[in-house]
Structures are given as structure tokens and as C-alpha cells.
Structure 1
């Protein structure tokens, strides 16, 4: 799932990028929700990550096809979150790239969603201290 989403985020087809970003926000939100109450986790940062992902997803259109991916098992330790942090950074970059050449309204929504991806990545990186 993760590799397919990352490949789709690099697509030149806007619909594919938007669907992949929506899916990435959705799964990263569920990852953040899953780890919120772990012993030693910073629950406020986990909640902030989940909130950022939900806010970013809300700015994007629903995917036209496909089904939600299962909530993944998150590996232990800070490095267990690295794939999801990297995914959110890629969402940020992909939405920023996609925003170029869009109408003012579309550009604004994409830039805002990209900002939520960046904020979610930062918050998620803070959940499990290194």
C-alpha cells in the first residue's frame, strides 16, 4: 500500500495525486490515532498529527474509486513512524507541485492541504521521542 501511494503521489495525473494524498492523509490519521495512548507517547502530538491529517483530507475531493486501506501495524520505537512521516512529507511536496498552474481557489486549497501534511509530519515525528 505504502509504495503504491508514494508512486501515485509522483504521478503527472492530478486525479491520481489527489486520490493518493487523500488516502495518505486517511491512513496517517489512523496511525496517529492508533499510537495516541501508547505508554511514553506524547498524546498531544499524536492528536495534533491526527487533526492535521483530518484537516488536510477534508480539503481534498473524495477519491473516485478504490477502497480505504487497512490500518497498518506500526513498528515500535521512533523509527517505526518514519514511513508515515516520510509519506506526509511527500504529500506536502506533491500537493505543492500540483498547486502550480491552478486557479487561485484550487491553489489555495492545495497549499493549505500541503501545510497540513507538513504540520502532521512534524507532530507525528514528536510523538515518540528519539
Structure 2
């Protein structure tokens, strides 16, 4: 799932980027939900990450086809969240890049969604003590 989503985020086709970003927000939000009540986790940061993912996802059109990815089984420790933090960072970069050359209104929405990816990544990285 991760490699396919990363490849789609690097696409020059806006529909693929939107679909990949939407899916990334979805799965990263579920990851944040899954770790919220783990012993030793920072619940507030997990909630911030989940809310940011939901807010970013709400700004994007849903994918035209496919099924949501399964909530992944997470490795222990802070490193277990690294792939999802990295994914949100990729979403941020892809949306900022896609915003270039767009109308002012479209650019504002894409930059706002990218901001949610940034906040989500930062919060998710802090959940297990990074």
C-alpha cells in the first residue's frame, strides 16, 4: 500500500495525487486512532494527528474507485509510526507542488490540505516520543 501510494503522490496526474492523498489521510488517521490509547502514547498528539488527517481528507475529492486500505499492524516504538509520518510528509510535498499553477482558490485549498498533512505528521511523530 505504501509504495503504491507514494508512487501516486509523485504522479503528474492531479487525480492520482488527489486519490493518493485522500487514501494517505485516511490510513494515517486510522493509525493515529489506533495508537491513541496505547500505554505510553501521547493521547493529545494522537488526537491532533487524527483530526488533522480528517480535516485534510475533507478538503479533497474522494477517490473515484478502489477500496480503503486496511489499518496496518504497527511495529513497536517510535519507529513503528515513521512510515506514516513519512507518508504525510509526502502528501504535504505533493499537494504544495500540485498547487503551483492553480487558481488562487484551488491553491488555497491545496495549501490548506498540505498544512493539515504537516500538522498531522508532526503530531503523529510525537505520539510515541519522537
TM superposition score normalised by structure 2: 0.99
The whole-number CA distance in structure 2 between the counterparts of 1:20 and 1:53 is 13
Superposed displacement of residue 22, structure 1: 0.1
The whole-number CA distance in structure 2 between the counterparts of 1:24 and 1:70 is 11
The whole-number CA distance in structure 2 between the counterparts of 1:40 and 1:90 is 27
Residue in 2 aligned with 1:127?
127
Size of the alignment, in residue pairs?
A: 130
The whole-number CA distance in structure 2 between the counterparts of 1:62 and 1:27 is 13
Residue in 1 aligned with 2:19?
19
Structure 1: state its 5+ residue gaps: none
Cα-Cα RMSD: 0.6
Superposed displacement of residue 104, structure 1: 1.1
Superposed displacement of residue 105, structure 1: 1.1
The whole-number CA distance in structure 1 between the counterparts of 2:62 and 2:125 is 27
Superposed displacement of residue 100, structure 1: 0.4
Structure 2: state its 5+ residue gaps: none
- Render the CA deviation track for 1:87-111: whole Å, top value 9, x for unaligned: 0000000000000011111111000
